[in-house]
Amino acid sequence: MCPLPVHRLPAFMRRGMPMLCVMLAVTACAVRIPADPRCDVDGDGAVADLEGCSGPIDCDDADPLRVPGRMDIPYNGRDEDCDGQDLLDSDGDGHDSNAHGGADCNDQDANVSPATLEVPYDGFDQDCSGQDLVDVDGDGFASSLVTGGTDCDDQDSLRHPGAVDLCDGIDQDCDGMDGVEGDVLYDGIDQDCDGIPANDGDGDGFGSVVVEGGDDCDDDDETVHPDAEEVACDGVDQDCDGGDLQDADGDGANGCGLLASDCDDADPARAPGWDEVCGNGVDEDCDGIDVPDADGDGHACNTDCDDSSSSIFPGAPERPYDGIDQNCDGFDPVDLDGDGLASVLAGGTDCHDDLPEEGQAGIYNPDQPLEQADPHAGLVPIPAGSFIMGSSDEEVPESSRPAHEVTLGGYCIERYEVDNARYALCVDAEECYPPIYTSGPRRSYYYGTPAYDHYPVLYLYDEDVLRFCAWAGRQLPTEAQWEKAARGGCERRGDPDRCDAEDEVAYPFGETSPECGGTTVNFCGFTADPAEPQLDGSTIAVDSFPDGISTYGVFQMAGNVSEMTRDWYAADWYSSNTDWSDPTGPESGQNLVSRGGEYESDAVGVRVDVRHEYGISSGSSSDGFRCVYVPSPPDSVP
C-alpha cells in the first residue's frame, strides 16, 4: 500500500523536509505499470483517462511530474498532485496566502491567519490585521506595555490620556494621579480633587464675583478684596464696596478731586452743612469763613441761645406753652396771668391762663376758690397726651370697636352737666331759646323750678346746645375729648408713653360694673333721688354720685343723661379713620354722637366706650350736655 501523500502530511512534518525525501516517498509507491502503452505515456505510473486503462488517473499523461499523490509545489501555478488546483495554503490553516489572492499573512505558520485570535503586546500579527494588538479596550490609545504606548489601563476604555478625571480615587487620564494639577478658575469644578473649586485667582482668601457667592471685585489683585483697607481718592475700590473712598473722615462730604466739597476730609467735624461752632476760629461748615451768627438773626453766637434758628434770639417774640425759649430769657412762659398756676396747655391746671385777669371774672377755677361765681360752671383740666379710645370687648356694639390710641392737646371740660339754672342764664341773656318742654321725666314741673335748678337741662335741639356753649365762651366737646375725660389718659398709671390694654377701662371709676341702685351711676331706671325717694327712673342733681367720678374728677360721665358731642355719627368711623391726632369726626352726617348713657340705660349702655346716636332735632328727655374750653393762647407775648 502506498504511504500517505506528502502534501497530505501535517504542515509541521512537511516544513523543512528535503525535496529528495519527498521524491523518494513518491517513487517508493508500488505502481503497477499498465500493459497498454497508451495508458501511461509519461511513465509516471498513472494512467490516462482512456477506455481499457486502469489505475490512478493522470491529469497530464505527457508530464511525468504531474501525477496523483505527487507533492504540490506551492504558488507555482501548476497542479502537480492533480487535485485540480495549485497549492495556495502552504501551512494548511484553511487560508490562502495573501501573496496569491488569499488573506493569510504568513502561509508558513498555521498559527497565523485572519481567524486566529490575536495575542496582545507580543509583537506578532496573529490575525493578519497588519499589526500587533496594542489597544485591547479600543479607546484609541496603545497600552503602556508596548513601546510608545500611553494607556495606563488597556482593559478599561474610560481610562486613557485626555479622559475626564472624576475625583473618585481612579486615575482616569493616566497622569499618575487622581484629578489634575491645578483647577480651572471659576468653572465650579474641582479638577485637582482637593475638595475646593478654584474661585480665588489672586489667593487673597476671597472668591471672585464671577462665581456665585463670590465677593472679590478684582481677583487678579490680592490687595483688593472686601476686607482690604480702602485708600481714599486713588481711583481704586480696594474694599469692593462699589467705589473708591471719597469721604475719608465719614462725614458724608466728598473729599476727592474737582468735585470735592469737604474742606478737611481728615476731620469729620468739618463738612458743608455742619453747625458752626461759635468763636473757635474753625470753619466747620466749609463755607470759607467762621461765622459768628450762623442763623443770620443779627445776634452773635455768643449771645444767641440758639444760633441755628433765626426765630430764637434775645428779645424775640415769645410764644407761650410751646416748650421753646424764643427770647433767650431762660424759660418758656407757662403762667401768663401770673396767678402761680401753669396753663393746661403747658401741662398745668389753669384753664384760663390765656385770659387777662379782668376777663376771668365770674369764671370758676377750682384752684382759685376766691373767684367762684358759679361752682357748677367749673372746669377740670385735661392734660395733653394719649389715651385708649374704643373697646376690644365684644360686649360693646361693633360701632365702638376696635380700641385705638388717640392723642389730644390740652383742654378743660366742665365738671358737671349743664343744669337748668345755668341754661336759664343764657335764656335770660336772650342768647338761648327755652327748652321745648318745662316738665321732666316723671315730673310735671322741671325747668324753671328752683328744686331742679341743678338738675341737667333737657329737651334741647343741637342748635340750642351749640348756642349755649358759644355764649359761655366754650364749645361742645368732640367725641374723643369726652371719652378721655371719662376714661382717663395713659399718664394715669405714671407712664404717659405707655398705652395698652390696662388703659382700656370700661367705666369712669374703673372696671367693675355698677350695681342697679348703687352709689356710682344713675341708670337702669331704679336709682332713687334722695330728694324724692319715691321716684324711680329719672334725672338726678348734676353733683350727685361722687363715688362715680372719673380719674380727673368729672361727675356723672356714666348715666343720668346721655351727653351730646359735636362729632357726626358714623357706625364705621373707628375702622375707616386713619388720623387719630385731635380727631373731630366725619365731615358730615345726619345725627350726632352722644355718650355716657342715661338713667334708663343698662350697664353696657353707660360704659365710657359705647357710642350712641343722637337725633339733632329730637329734643329728648334723656339727653343733656356739658361744654369744654380749649385755650387759645396769643401768638406771642412780650
pLDDT in tens, 393-416: 999 999 999 999 999 999 999 999
CA distance 292 to 280: 9
> How many angstroms from the chain centroid is the CA of residue 351?
51
> Which residues contact residue 323 at a Cβ distance below 8 angstroms, ignoring those fewer than 6 apart?
332, 346
604: which 3 cell numbers? 353696657
Instruction: Report domain extents, the chain.
Output: 377-632
Section 261-283 average pLDDT: 78
Any idea which of 289-293, 469-473, 533-537 has the lowest mean pLDDT?
A: 289-293
611, 574, 567: which is closest to 590 by C-alpha? 567
Contacts of 73 (CB under 8 A, 6+ apart): 80, 87
Band of pLDDT at residue 245, cut at 50, 70 and 90: confident
Q: Are 39 and 48 in contact (CB under 8 A)?
A: yes
Closest CA to 92 of 161, 13, 34: 13
Q: Quote the pLDDT of residue 424.
A: 95
Q: Rounded to the nearest 10 degrees, what angle do helices 420-428 and 462-471 cross at?
A: 80
HSE (CB half, 13 Å, CA atoms) of 244?
11
Cell numbers standing for residue 623: 339727653
pLDDT at 554 over 70: yes
Which ranges in 488-585 belong to alpha helices (H)? 573-576
pLDDT tier for residue 534 given thresholds of 50, 70 and 90: confident
Buried b / exposed e along 444-461 (16+ C-beta atoms within 10 A): eebbeeeebbbbbbbbbb
Cβ contacts of 302 within 8 Å, gap of 6 or more: 278, 279, 292
Nearest to 259 by CA among 268, 246, 243: 246
Average pLDDT over residues 50-65: 85
C-alpha closest to that of 142 among 125, 127, 161: 161
Amino acid at 65: L
Backbone phi and psi for residue 428, each to the nearest 5 degrees, phi listed first: -65, -30
* Banded pLDDT at 182 (limits 50, 70, 90): low
Count CB atoms within 10 A of the CB of residue 577. 13
User: What is d(CA 54, CA 45) in angstroms, rounded to the nearest whole number?
Assistant: 11
Of the ranges 35-39, 41-45, 235-239, 623-627, the best mean pLDDT one: 623-627
CA-CA distance, 495 to 503, in Å (whole number)? Answer: 11
C-alpha span between 413 and 403 (Å, rounded) = 23
pLDDT score, position 356: 64
* Range ranked top by mean pLDDT from 157-171, 226-240, 259-273, 399-413: 399-413
Confidence (pLDDT) at 268 = 87
Q: Does the pLDDT at position 346 exceed 90?
A: no
3-class DSSP assignment, residue 63: coil
Q: If you search the block for the grid coordinates 369764671, which residue do you land on?
A: 363
Supply the pLDDT for residue 122: 82
Confidence at residue 5, expressed as pLDDT on a 0 to 100 scale:
46
pLDDT digits (tens, 9 = 90+) for 482-524: 999 999 998 877 777 788 888 889 999 999 999 998 999 999 9
Average pLDDT, rounded, for the chain? 84
| Class of the CATH domain delimited by 377-632 | alpha beta
Smallest CA-to-CA distance from 488 within 380, 582, 578 is with: 380
Q: What is the mean pLDDT of residues 527-541?
A: 84
Supply the pLDDT for residue 367: 45
In contact, 499 and 510? CB cutoff 8 Å: no
Which residue, 252, 204, 207, is CA-closest to 229?
A: 204
Say yes or no to pLDDT of 156 above 50: yes
Instruction: Reduce the DSSP state of residue 529 to 3 states and report it.
Output: strand
Neighbour-count burial of 55, counting CB atoms closer than 10 A to its CB (0-12 exposed, 13-18 middle, 19+ buried): middle
Inform me whether the pLDDT recorded for 474 exceeds 50: yes
pLDDT of residue 372: 43
Split at pLDDT 50, 70, 90, the class of 366 is very low
Full-prediction pTM beyond 0.85? no
Residues 419, 456: contact at Cβ < 8 Å?
Answer: yes
Q: What is the pLDDT of residue 360?
A: 54
Q: 3-class DSSP state for residue 470?
A: helix
pLDDT of residue 19 exceeding 50, the answer is no
The residue ranking higher by pLDDT, 514 or 21, is: 514
Strand partners, 57: 47
Listed range (42-46, 94-98, 366-370) with the worst mean pLDDT: 366-370
Cell of 238: 480696594
Lowest mean pLDDT across 5-14, 187-196, 274-283, 291-300:
5-14
SS3 438: coil
Stretch 611-622: mean pLDDT = 86
- What pLDDT shows up at residue 89? 79
pLDDT of residue 130: 82
Q: 60-107 pLDDT, tens per residue?
A: 888 898 988 888 899 888 878 898 887 887 888 889 888 888 887 987
- Residue 279 is predicted with a pLDDT of 66
Burial class (CB in 10 A: 0-12, 13-18, 19+), 126: buried
- Diameter of the chain measured on Cα atoms: 192
pLDDT of residue 365: 45
Contact call for residues 248 and 265 (beta carbons, < 8 A): yes
Q: What is the per-residue pLDDT across 126-140, written as a single tens digit (0 to 9) for each? A: 889 888 788 888 888
d(CA 184, CA 170): 20
Q: Which residues of 72-86 are buried (b: 16+ CB within 10 A; e: fewer)?
A: bbbeeeebbbbeeeb
The listed range with the strongest mean pLDDT (103-107, 301-305, 349-353, 452-456) is 452-456
- Confidence class for position 333, pLDDT limits 50, 70, 90: confident
* CB burial string 302-313: b at 16+ within 10 A, e below: eebbbbeebebb
Rounded Cα–Cα distance for residues 409 and 601 (Å): 31
Note whether 85 and 77 are within 8 A (CB): no
Q: Which residue has the higher pLDDT, 259 or 591?
A: 591
In 3-state terms, what secondary structure has residue 346? helix
pLDDT of 179 reads: 67
Q: What's the order of all strands across the beta sheet hosting 411-414?
A: 379-382, 411-414, 628-629
Per mean pLDDT, which of 56-65, 218-227, 443-452 is the most reliable? 443-452
Q: Are 364 and 371 in contact (CB under 8 A)?
A: yes
Band the pLDDT of 226: cuts 50, 70, 90.
very high
